[in-house]
Amino acid sequence: MYLFKSRLITLLALSLFFICFSLLSLFIIDAPQSVQAAPAWTSASTVSDGVPQSIGGYASGCLQGGSLLPQQGSGYESIRRYRNRYYAHPATIHLLEDLGREVERAGLLPMEIGDLSQPRGGRMKYGHRSHQSGLDADIWFGGDPAYREGEGRQRKRRVKRKAKSKRWSAKTLRRALFDVDHPSAVKGWRETLDKKVWSTRHEQLLKRAANRPEVARIFVHFRIKEKMCEVYRSESKARDDTARDDTAREVAEEQTLWLRKLRPWYGHHQHFHIRLHCPPGSPECDNQGPLPKGLGCEGLEWFSKREKKERKRAAKKAEDKEIARRATLSARELKALKVAEAKEKRVRSAAAVERQELLMRRCRHLGPSR
Ligand SMILES: [Zn+2]
């Protein structure tokens, strides 16, 4: 009896050990994967040596020999420095400093420049998918004095009152106050342009930035694009009234480029996002495709929250329909469908692996050990 008991105990102890071991190994296997997901250069705290180069794509790349944007300069201020994302290719820094000087000469309020890239670029832990190759920059719209002294002051008071009654942490309060100082340009479920926030200064700033030849695209909320289309139409009408000959028309045609560069995209109602072309001397830099034809002023509602929700609803309906269709398939048909799906999945994951390998080959040398 005693022997039986001791064997049972040994058996129990052994199984417990195996369970623990398998659980532990699960974590161990999982760990290198998550480490692999964040390549070494993405966490470097300093820029790398080497000639400045933007490598790879905006959403899958890195930055060699980056420069930093000084905290302050003519016509601009670099904000949220604690995020350590004020590095970029020197071409980007040059553009921002030059744009700042232009802003100052025009007597506009200084620009507030937010995230550029990490010291050696790469994917960030939070906040963006792009901004990886030192060619993206966020500029906050910010409130004008009229907003700050009126609406802004009221909002600030409301926020402080709420913070007190809800016992917000200092961090939450700081974030909310940042949002008051950098208000959304749109409001309500219809996402209309907020006239208390939006001003001609924002229009001028966007137009000046888009007119720069180094700039490939600027991402803005669709209501802002809509507004800029309006601005363009009123300007071109004034031009057409004065310019009758063909050359003048051609010039006018060229002048549409700035408007075409403004691309509607989700978010981008508190800040706009400047994207530069690949600079010279960066042979491994991948440009985004060319701008779509036309001014891009049609069908902007596609980007609205309302239409996005409708699309989601339609997709869900289509999915339900597909499930019902599958239920009517024969076992052979279902098997063929599953084989085709598995093949598609393999192709997709092979492409992802290839992309990751290319990125590693191009950027590995920027690891922090350098
Ligand atoms: Zn951005």
Convert the pLDDT of each residue in 212-232 to its tens digit: 999 999 999 999 999 999 999
Q: Using CA atoms, how far apart are residues 77 and 114, in angstroms rounded to an integer?
A: 9
Cβ 132 vs Cβ 267: under 8 Å: no
Residue type, 219: F
Q: How far is the CA of 136 from the centre of ligand 1 (A)?
A: 6
Whether the per-residue pLDDT at 112 is higher than 70: the answer is: yes
Predicted local confidence at residue 23, as pLDDT: 40
Residue 161 — very low, low, confident or very high, per pLDDT cuts 50/70/90? very high
**Mean pLDDT for all residues in the chain:** 88
Predicted local confidence at residue 234, as pLDDT: 86
275 three-state secondary structure: strand
Predicted local confidence at residue 246, as pLDDT: 62
Q: Which fold has domain 41-143+182-297?
A: Muramoyl-pentapeptide Carboxypeptidase; domain 2 (3.30.1380)
Q: How far is the CA of 357 from the centre of ligand 1 (A)?
A: 25
Provide CATH 3.30.1380.10 ranges for the chain.
Answer: 41-143+182-297
Q: How far is the CA of 116 from the centre of ligand 1 (A)?
A: 8
Cβ neighbors of 214 (< 8 A, separation 6 or more) are 91, 95, 276, 277, 279
Residue 239 — very low, low, confident or very high, per pLDDT cuts 50/70/90? confident
239 three-state secondary structure: helix
Task: Please compute the mean of the pLDDT values over residues 319-344 and round it to a whole number.
Answer: 93
Q: How far is the CA of 14 from the centre of ligand 1 (A)?
A: 54
Among the ranges given (19-33, 70-84, 152-166, 271-285), the one the predictor scored with the smallest mean pLDDT? 19-33
pTM: 0.84
Q: How far is the CA of 6 from the centre of ligand 1 (A)?
A: 66
The Cβ of residue 328 has, within 10 Å, a number of other Cβ atoms equal to 8
Q: Using CA atoms, how far apart are residues 278 and 133, in angstroms rounded to an integer?
A: 9
Predicted local confidence at residue 34, as pLDDT: 38
Predicted local confidence at residue 83, as pLDDT: 94
Whether the per-residue pLDDT at 163 is higher than 80: the answer is: yes
Task: Please compute the mean of the pLDDT values over residues 27-54 and round it to a whole number.
Answer: 72
Q: How far is the CA of 15 from the centre of ligand 1 (A)?
A: 52
Q: Using CA atoms, how far apart are residues 250 and 255, in angstroms rounded to an integer?
A: 9
